[in-house]
Structure 1
Amino acid sequence: MIKKLIAATVLGLGLAGASLAQDINFGIISTEATQNLKGDWQPLIDDMSRQTGLKVTAFFAPDYAGIIEGMRFNKVHIGWFGNKSAMEAVDRAGGEVFAQMVNADGTQGYYSHLIVNRESPLNTLDDVLKNARNLSFGNGDPNSTSGYLVPGFYVFAQNKLDAKSIFKVTRSANHETNALAVANKQVDVATNNSENLEKVKERFPEKFKDIKIVWTSPLIPLDPLVMRKDLPEATKAKLRNFFYNYAKSDPREKEIVMKISKLSGFKESSDKQLLPIRQLDLFGQRTKIEADTVLSDADKKVKLADIEKKLSALN
C-alpha cells in the first residue's frame, strides 16, 4: 500500500511538472496595435496548441524591449522578432533563431522606408535632410530593424547625422502609429516598412492614400522566430516541427499566414541569419564614432579598434 502511495505521489509530481513544462508564452513584437496583432496571430497560436499539445499563450508588451526582457526572464519562451530585436534576444536573453518567415510571392525580404504625407513638398531623402531642422520626425522602436537600425545607418550614419538632433522634434513609435501620424499630418516624416504599409493599406485604405514614400532601403532579410535555448529538447522538437510544416498544404493555414504578413510559411534558420544585421549595427557604430567631435583622438582610436575587432570576428 505504501509503495502504491509513493508511486502515485511520484507520478502526480511528474505530471504536475510535465504540465508546467507545457506552458509556453509566444512573444509578439509591438509593430502595431495589440488588438490587430492578436487578430492576426491568435489562429496560428491556437493551431500551435492543438498540434503540439503545448499550452501556448500570446504575450504582448508595449515595446520591443518588453518582449526581449520577457525572454530574458523566462516569461517569453518563443516568439516573432525582427532581426535587430532577435539579435538582442540572442545576445542578452538566452535565445536562438530557429526559423524564418517566407514570403508568399517568393521574395527574400522587405524594405525600410521614410514616408511623408501625400501633400508634403518633400519628395526625396535629400529634401528631408535639407529641411530637417524644420521637420517633426517619427522614429521607430530602438530595437526595430526597419524602423530604427536600417534608416539609422543608411539615412543618418552614412550622412554623418544624428536623428535625435537634426530634426525640430523627434519621437519614437511603432510602425502603424507612425504611418497614421504621417497620414494625419501629426508628424512630417517617419520611418516605416513595406510589410506594415501593406497592412495599413488593408486596414486604413483612406489613410494609406495620404502616405508618400520618399526613401527605400536595400533589401532586409525576412523576420526570424526565436526560442529560448534552455527549453526541453522535446518541446523544441515539437515547435520546430509545427513551424516547418505549417501552411504547407492546408488552405485554412495558408489563409492564416497570408493574414499575418502575406507569407507562405516558415523555413529553417539559425543565428547565422543575423550576421548582416550585426555587421550593419557595427558599421553604424563605427560611422558615429568617426563623426564624433567630442571624443578625444585617443578614445576614438580605442573605440574604432574595438569595432574593427568585432567586425573581423564576424568574418
Structure 2
Amino acid sequence: MTYTPAMPRIAFTAFLLFSMLSAHAEIVLGLVANRGVEETRLDWQPIADDLGQALNQPVRVVATKDEAELLASFQRGEIDVLRGSSKLALSAVEGGKGDIFARLALTGRLTEYRSLLLVRRDGPPSLDALLSQRQQWRYASGNPGSTAGYLIPQYHAFVRNNVLPERFFRSVTVGNAEDNFRALVDRRVDVAVSNSDDLPKLAEKYPRDYQQLRVLWQSPPFSYDPLVIRRDLSAATRSRIVAFFLDYGRTGPQATRAKEKLYWADQLDGFLPATNRQLREVTDLQLYDALFRLALMPELDASQRQTREKVLYRRYDQLTALLGGAR
C-alpha cells in the first residue's frame, strides 16, 4: 500500500465518526406490559427521555405482554435495561447476560407486593370452597414467565394444596393482569390472577367493574420487580444508568417533576438498590413446583424420578451459589 499524507486525516476522520456514533448509540429499555402495550410504552417514555438526556444518547422503550419474547430480545443484546418479573430476571442472570441493580418502590414507599386470586361477588366464598369443586371453574392465569401471575399462586395457592391448575380447572387461559380482570368481569372466567400492584390501578381505571369483584386469596409478600442491566455494556455506561435510576425522583432540581413521571408510569415512588440475591425468593418456588410436578408423573419409574430429582437439586444448588449462598 502506498502511503499518502491524507491517510492520517482519513484515519482520524473515521475514528471521530466511529466515536460519535458510539456516543449516540441507542439504549433500549424493555418492559413487561401489565396493561396495554402501547399504554405502557407511552407511560414510560418520559422517564426514558430523561435517561437519554442524562446519557446524551437516545433511549427507546419497547413493551410486550410476552416475557419469553422480552427475555429472548435481552439475550440477543437488543435490550439494555430490563424491567420484568423476578422469574424473568433469574433467567437473564442465570444465562450470564445481566445483573440486577435496582428494584421498584411504589408510592408510599411500598417495597413488597402480594399475588391475588379474584372472583366475582357471587363466586366461591373461600379458596377451600373453590378447591373442593374440581372441573367446576374456569381460571385466568398469568403468563408462565410471570412471578406474580404464575409462579407465586401456582405454588402457594395450588401446589401446597396438592392441586395442579391445568388438571383441576375446567379451562385455563393466560393473560396479563388487565386481560384477566376483563375476562372475570365479562364472565369468561370464574377465577383470575392479579396482584396488589396492578389491582388498585385497574380499580381506578374501571371503578364500576371493580365493584363486581372481590379478593378470594392473597399470597405472602414478595419484593417488587427488579431492573436488570446488560453485563456487556461498558462500565461507564452501566455506572451512569445505575446512578440515574437510583437518584431519579430523589435528587436534583427536577426531582419533583420526576416524581410525577414515576407516578404516571406505574404509580412508582422510585428505585431502590438491589442485587442478584433478591432472586433467592424465586429459586425456592421453582424447586418446590418442579418437585411436585415430578411426583405427579406416574409414567416415570423410581430410577427415572431419582435422576430428574438430582438434576433439579443440582440446578438449585448452582443457582443458590450464583446468588450469594443460602443465607
Task: Give the secondary structure class of the aligned counterpart of 2:77.
Answer: coil
Deviations 1:139-163 (A, max 9, x none): 1011101100001111222122211
1:137 is aligned, of 132, 136, 139, to 139
Task: Give the secondary structure class of the aligned counterpart of 1:89.
Answer: helix
Q: Which residue of 2 aligns with 1:44?
A: 47
Check if 1:193 corresponds to 2:205: no
Q: Which residue of 2 aligns with 1:84?
A: 87
Offset at residue 222 of structure 1 (A): 1.0
Deviations 1:108-150 (A, max 9, x none): 3000011111232x12111221224021110101110110000
Offset at residue 175 of structure 1 (A): 0.9
| Distance in 1 (alpha carbons) for counterparts of 2:95 and 2:174 | 23
Offset at residue 169 of structure 1 (A): 0.9
Return the letter of the residue paired with 1:37: T
**CA, structure 1 residues 168+38, in 2 after alignment: closer, same or farther (shift >3 Å)?**
same
C-alpha contact 1:138 1:178 (8 A) present in aligned 2: yes
Offset at residue 258 of structure 1 (A): 2.1
Q: Which residue of 2 aligns with 1:104?
A: 107
| Distance in 1 (alpha carbons) for counterparts of 2:21 and 2:236 | 17
Offset at residue 312 of structure 1 (A): 4.4
What pairs up with 1:64-83 in 2 under 5 angstroms? 64-83=67-86
C-alpha contact 2:38 2:63 (8 A) present in aligned 1: no
| Distance in 1 (alpha carbons) for counterparts of 2:120 and 2:88 | 28
Tell me, which stretches of 5 or more residues in structure 2 are unaligned?
321-325
What pairs up with 1:52-67 in 2 under 5 angstroms? 52-67=55-70
| Distance in 2 (alpha carbons) for counterparts of 1:164 and 1:225 | 31
Residue range with higher mean Cα deviation, 160-169 or 285-294 = 285-294
Q: Which residue of 2 aligns with 1:280?
A: 285
| Distance in 1 (alpha carbons) for counterparts of 2:55 and 2:136 | 54
Q: Which residue of 2 aligns with 1:261?
A: 266
Return the letter of the residue paired with 1:136: R
Task: Give the secondary structure class of the aligned counterpart of 1:79.
Answer: strand
Q: Which residue of 2 aligns with 1:242?
A: 244
C-alpha contact 1:96 1:271 (8 A) present in aligned 2: yes
Return the letter of the residue paired with 2:235: E
Residue range with higher mean Cα deviation, 252-261 or 148-157 = 252-261
C-alpha contact 1:69 1:93 (8 A) present in aligned 2: no
Residue range with higher mean Cα deviation, 247-256 or 221-230 = 247-256
1:33 is aligned, of 33, 36, 42, to 36
C-alpha contact 1:98 1:226 (8 A) present in aligned 2: yes
Task: Give the secondary structure class of the aligned counterpart of 1:191.
Answer: strand
| Distance in 2 (alpha carbons) for counterparts of 1:54 and 1:7 | 23
Q: Which residue of 1 aligns with 2:323?
A: none
Task: Give the secondary structure class of the aligned counterpart of 1:133.
Answer: coil
What pairs up with 1:109-124 in 2 under 5 angstroms? 109-120=112-123, 122-124=124-126
Question: How many residues are matched?
Answer: 312
C-alpha contact 2:23 2:57 (8 A) present in aligned 1: no
Q: CA RMSD in A?
A: 1.7
Return the letter of the residue paired with 2:92: A
Deviations 1:63-111 (A, max 9, x none): 1111101101111111211111111222237121111112332333000
| Distance in 2 (alpha carbons) for counterparts of 1:15 and 1:151 | 49
| Distance in 2 (alpha carbons) for counterparts of 1:288 and 1:240 | 39
C-alpha contact 2:104 2:111 (8 A) present in aligned 1: no
C-alpha contact 2:103 2:224 (8 A) present in aligned 1: yes
Q: Which residue of 1 aligns with 2:301?
A: 296
Return the letter of the residue paired with 1:279: D
Identity percentage over the alignment?
25
Residue range with higher mean Cα deviation, 61-70 or 191-200 = 61-70
Offset at residue 291 of structure 1 (A): 3.4
**CA, structure 1 residues 47+279, in 2 after alignment: closer, same or farther (shift >3 Å)?**
same
Task: Give the secondary structure class of the aligned counterpart of 2:135.
Answer: helix
Return the letter of the residue paired with 1:190: A
Return the letter of the residue paired with 2:179: T
Return the letter of the residue paired with 2:300: L
Deviations 1:168-223 (A, max 9, x none): 11111111100111112111101110111011012111121122110100001111
C-alpha contact 2:41 2:62 (8 A) present in aligned 1: no
